[in-house]
Amino acid sequence: MAAAIRLLSPWSFYRFARASKAVCAQLHSSAAVMGASVEEFNAAKEKLGALKKDPGNEVKLKVYALFKQVRNDQYNQCWGEEARQQYVDLISSLVGTEAPTVAAQPTGSTKGFQTLLVSTEDNITTIRLNRPEKKNAITVEMYNELIEALDLAGKDDSVITVITGSGDYYCSGNDLNNFAKIPEGGVEKLAKESGELLRRYVKVYIDFPKPLIGVINGPAVGVSVTLLGLFDVVYATEKATFHTPFSQLGQSPEGCSSYLFPKIMGAAKASEMLLFNKKLTATQACEVGLVTEVFPESSFQSEVWTRLKAYAKLPRNSLALSKQLIRVVEKEKLHAVNDAEVERLVERWLSDECMQAIMSFFQAKSKL
């Protein structure tokens, strides 16, 4: 009966409600009809004001019409609840097209982050790289904050964890200014400390206990690409690209990519990326298995977040235990690969070849 009532036009429903207050009262008390409360209506109004994108005139007219219906005294209580529910549902659908960007803390967090936006909503912990003016290039501070944010996300009550970027880039890789800050111990100390930081950073991905999903909202470079082999699912917008220019910078692969990329895409395709700096489009990355699925830019956020919210309704412990079964066999191997990659990178960072490549980068940048 409730389903049939919802199919009526607003005017038909109005006449129906006025003709049968007893039926309306019965529906109001029935568990089958769950009209939104005044508190939910007011919360939806606040969410509407926080939308970042203009939903368009047609949608705004629908929102305004429902708002007026709720406020208009000519409608009785039953219709008022129904209109409130339609209003709340519409605003929720609009909010769902935008990824959550509230700088809230995951459960158990005791501090804010300077380079990240971290939020937990709908059983999803989202870690958003937040240096859009620098294309989300990873600084030493961001490395440390990512390690902490992932550690907290692994322990909170969320079902899945998502990593994405702010702005037009997912991540442009390492901020090469990291190499310009030489400590008192000299270049050797810098290389050793950077290696240990990278080792800890990759380790947290290897050991992460929950499903980890990459939402690649734009170009990805360097370590942000090599780590994708350690994600469980990777979704990308069609405008994303994937580039690992290691030999161009006199460096070598990390993130366990020297082992996982050949396993995922085959030795020849992996060599094109890791040795010869080939940049892949999102479609190409999907074809070789690095990306799970590619979405049109126009619907990327809405489609991906609808899917993620569905995943987040699955049993948390079942997902975590299933991931453990999938990953546990190779964990020891991955840690060994991580150690070997870090050792080789420290060696490369101390080489004349790498130093010259980084100096050339800074010189080219200064001419811009």
Q: For 272-304, what is each residue's pLDDT tens digit?
A: 999 999 999 999 999 999 999 999 999 999 999
Quote the strand ranges of the chain, DSSP E. Answer: 116-121, 124-129, 160-165, 212-216, 220-221, 233-237, 241-243, 280-281, 293-295
CA-nearest of 149, 141, 148 to 177 is: 141
Let me know: does 293 contact 286? Beta carbons within 8 Å. Answer: yes
What is the count of structural domains for the chain?
2
| One domain, residues 291 and 340 | yes
CA-nearest of 102, 92, 100 to 45 is: 92
Higher per-residue confidence, 40 vs 224: 224
| One domain, residues 79 and 163 | no
Let me know: does 202 contact 254? Beta carbons within 8 Å. Answer: yes
| One domain, residues 147 and 279 | yes
| One domain, residues 81 and 130 | no
- Reported as type and span, the H/E element at residue 84 is helix 77-96
Note whether residue 142 is domain-resident.
yes
Q: Domain range holding 186?
A: 116-366
Note whether residue 79 is domain-resident.
yes
3-class DSSP state of 309: helix
| One domain, residues 172 and 287 | yes
Domain CATH number, residue 170: 3.90.226.10
| One domain, residues 184 and 259 | yes
Lowest mean pLDDT among 34-48, 124-138, 292-306: 34-48
pLDDT at 176: 77
Note whether residue 147 is domain-resident.
yes
| One domain, residues 343 and 204 | yes
Here the tokens at position 105 are 């803390």
Instruction: Indicate the pairing of strand 241-243 with strand 293-295.
Output: unpaired
Note whether residue 18 is domain-resident.
no
| One domain, residues 73 and 210 | no
**What Cα–Cα distance (Å) separates residue 128 from each residue in 4, 167, 206, 215?**
43, 10, 19, 10
Angle value at C-alpha 199, between 330 and 285, nearest 5 degrees: 60
Note whether residue 355 is domain-resident.
yes
| One domain, residues 70 and 217 | no
**Range of 80-89, 186-195, 269-278 with top mean pLDDT:** 269-278
Note whether residue 263 is domain-resident.
yes
| One domain, residues 80 and 121 | no
| One domain, residues 155 and 43 | no
| One domain, residues 45 and 139 | no
Query: 256 CB contacts (<8 Å, ≥6 apart)?
Result: 202, 206, 226, 227, 229, 230, 334, 337, 338, 341
pLDDT digits (tens, 9 = 90+) for 197-246: 999 999 999 999 999 999 999 999 999 999 999 999 999 999 999 999 99
Q: Which residue has the tokens 């130093």?
A: 355
Of 25, 60, 95, the domain-final residue: 95
Note whether residue 100 is domain-resident.
no
Cβ neighbours of 353 (radius 10 Å) = 12
Let me know: does 197 contact 161? Beta carbons within 8 Å. Answer: no
